[in-house]
Amino acid sequence: MSRFFITTAIPYANGAPHIGHAYERIATDAIQRFMRLDGRDTLFVTGMDEYGLKVQQTAAREGVTPQEFVDRVAAEFEAMGELLNARADDIVRTTQPRHARSVQAIWERMAANGDIYLSKYSGWYSVRDEAYFDESELTDGPEGKKLAPSGAPVDWVEEESWFFRLSAYADRLLAHYAANPDFVTPEKYLNEIVAFVKRGLSDLSISRTAFSWGVPVPGDPKHVMYVWVDALTNYITATGFPDAEAPRAKYWPADVHVIGKDITRFHAIYWPAFLMSAGLPAPKQVVVHGFLFNRGEKMSKSVGNVVSPASLVAAYGLDPVRYFFLREVPFGQDGSYSHEAIVARMNADLANDIGNLGQRSLSMIAKNGEGRVPDPSGAAPAPEDLAMLARADALIGEARRHMANFQIHLYVAAVFEVVAEANRYFANAEPWKLAKSDRARMALVLYVTIETLRIAATLLQPVMPGSMAKLLDLLAVPPEARTFAALETGEAAGRLDAPNRLEPGRALPAPSAVFPRYVE
Ligand code: ME8
């Protein structure tokens, strides 16, 4: 079985989960589920980015130790994963001992390769903010003092720091991008990276002495590692690095790092450079998603439009929220959400299109067919019956093509086009009239309808796992027949006797609604 190792970015543990985190987790979970249903041996890892000055400061403000603070935040993120039905196989917290071991090992390898040296980091430093500022951010204060944006005075400070020889990697990185044009997708993000690297890279300051909440530098513990060296390394910690015999070692290189567009440089420049330096292979792909905005506005506490993932799920239900994000937002681009847009999708696509079709066809079967999968063999199929099956059978190929480029929204849209087609087919065939005039044809029409629903529901499991499990239960599809292998029809595509079709005569449970309408 071919392996598929996928990760999310590891959220900063300095605040509660927000919609951006939820979106990334849902999208990554859906990709992972798709690959698993398609026969891949998946490993899905997320984590928590728990070190750094900001976390140390927030903890101090709240009067708790940094560890107590990050434990609390990590628990909130874990609860979010459960709530979203997007549990990962592993959660790498950067404060775990296994991670300290892994970061120290990668550091030592980079050092052994001659890429780490001690020098001075200099810049405008504000003691009150505990932060460096760019010259361009400063304003002139009294007595010739320069001021940080907060109004605090800044001083020119030189601090001892370890550096990583990033400048030496520009050519190797450019060669890597050229040889792997899909390394960063969508392409526009790769183009930005290539342009940036072509302008030349400076060496990177990778340690700090101004605070202590971090992984100590091996052999020089007054320094802690720069948070990005530490954070990026979580991805190999998950595979048991540096233990080459660890059970998960075989999963490296990762297939996909899913990240938001604000952290592409770290993943597409620093990370492969660190790995090259340490003699490890780069991840295969960095898949970049856009930002989500509330009605087009950036989410922020000050704007007052922060909506928690839990409040969205409480308002609309989990699967409608998962569906909305994955269908509405073109993957890779920014998107916005609003009450109106979510309700429109819930009612039009879920309640009306797929929900209603299931409800109407299954309740007709319950009424006219003794609650069993109808037997289609009593009537000769008409061209429209076979055309319907052919469209449904073609979906798995379309879905795979879209998912090969992580065009999640296009795969979902393709399934819903077939659901819309099935609604037209059902309406035109008027099985409720056939109940009186031609029961053999009625059975055939109902069979084709629910077989199309089986295919759609099987394919939509990655997006709406709970609801599609319910729909597949209503169609009496056995658990072992729910993978994408059950959608293979081969040469028999579009024929009633294709393999894996619903089995006529199988008892069906009493129908019930899968997607209620949202009523204001
Ligand atoms: O960047 N919409 O953590 P983070 C969509 N610790 N995605 C969003 C978003 C939004 N409004 N806001 C943030 C970090 N994200 C680092 C990562 S990885 C080794 C270290 C995404 O909590 C963001 O792009 O700020 C990132 O992929 C993820 O959420 C975590 O962001």
pLDDT class for 293, splitting at 50, 70, 90?
Answer: confident
For the whole prediction, is pTM greater than 0.80? yes
**Structure token pair of residue 423:** 């609604």
> How far, in Å, are 57, 125, 464 from residue 472 at the CA level?
50, 60, 12
Q: Atom 4 in ligand 1: which residue has the minimum CA distance?
A: 11
Query: What's the rounded mean pLDDT across residues 159-187?
Result: 97
Query: Taking residues 391-399, what's their average pLDDT?
Result: 98
Residue type at 277 in one-letter notation: S
**Residues contacting residue 310 through CB under 8 Å, at least 6 positions apart:** 80, 83
DSSP assignment of 205-231 = E-EESS---SPEETTEEEEEE-HHHHH
pLDDT in tens, 130-144: 677 888 889 999 888
How many Å apart are CA 218 and CA 121, to the nearest integer?
19
pLDDT at 304: 53
Predicted local distance difference test score (pLDDT) of residue 128: 73
Residues paired with 41 in a beta bridge: 3
What is the location of CATH 3.40.50.620 in the chain?
Answer: 3-115+165-289
Of 6, 12, 73, the residue with max ligand 1 atoms within 8 A of its CB, to mutate for a pocket test, comes to: 12
Which amino acid residue places its CA nearest to atom 13 of ligand 1?
A: 20
Cβ pair 86, 29 in contact under 8 A: yes
Which pLDDT value is given to residue 227?
87
Task: Decide yes or no: CATH 3.40.47.10 for domain 339-507.
Answer: no
Closest C-alpha residue for ligand 1 atom 22: 11
ipTM summary value: 0.99
Ligand 1 pocket, 153 CB below 6 A?
no
- The CA-atom distances, in angstroms, between 238 and each of 8, 214, 247, 254, 509 are 12, 19, 10, 10, 42
- DSSP letters of 375-419? -GGGSPPPHHHHHHHHHHHHHHHHHHHHHHTT-HHHHHHHHHHHH
Specify the pLDDT at position 296: 62
CATH of 3-115+165-289 given 3.20.20.20, 3.40.50.620, 3.40.50.720, 3.30.160.100: 3.40.50.620
Domain(s) of CATH 1.10.730.10: residues in the chain = 339-507
* Residues 493-509: tens digit of each pLDDT: 999 999 999 999 999 99
pLDDT reported for residue 501: 97
Pairing status of strand 207-208 against strand 216-217: unpaired
Q: List Cβ neighbours of 281 (8 Å cut-off, separation of 6 or more).
A: 252, 253, 275
Question: Any idea what the Cα angle at residue 51 is, between residues 50 and 52, rounded to 5°?
Answer: 135
Lowest-confidence pick of 119-133, 259-273, 421-435: 119-133
Contact, 12 vs 55, CB < 8 A?
A: yes
CB 457 within 8 A of CB 475: yes
**Average pLDDT value for residue range 221-250:** 96
Which stretches within 212-293 are classed as H helix?
Answer: 227-232, 234-237, 264-265, 271-277
**Helix/strand/coil percentages in the chain, nearest 5:** 50, 15, 30
Q: Which residue has the higher pLDDT, 315 or 486?
A: 486
| Ligand 1 mutation pick, 28, 258, 262, max ligand atoms within 8 A of CB | 262
How far is Cα 480 from Cα 459, in angstroms, rounded to an integer? 14
pLDDT over 60 (residue 305):
no
Q: pLDDT value at position 356? A: 95
Pairing status of strand 3-8 against strand 256-260: parallel
- Centroid of ligand 1 to alpha carbon of 356 (angstroms): 37
Separation of alpha carbons 30 and 326, rounded Å: 9
Say if residue 40 is exposed, middle or buried (CB neighbours under 10 Å; 0-12, 13-18, 19+).
Answer: middle
Mean pLDDT in the chain?
Answer: 95
Confidence of residue 370 (pLDDT cuts 50, 70, 90): confident
- CA-to-CA distance for 437 and 422, rounded, in angstroms? 22
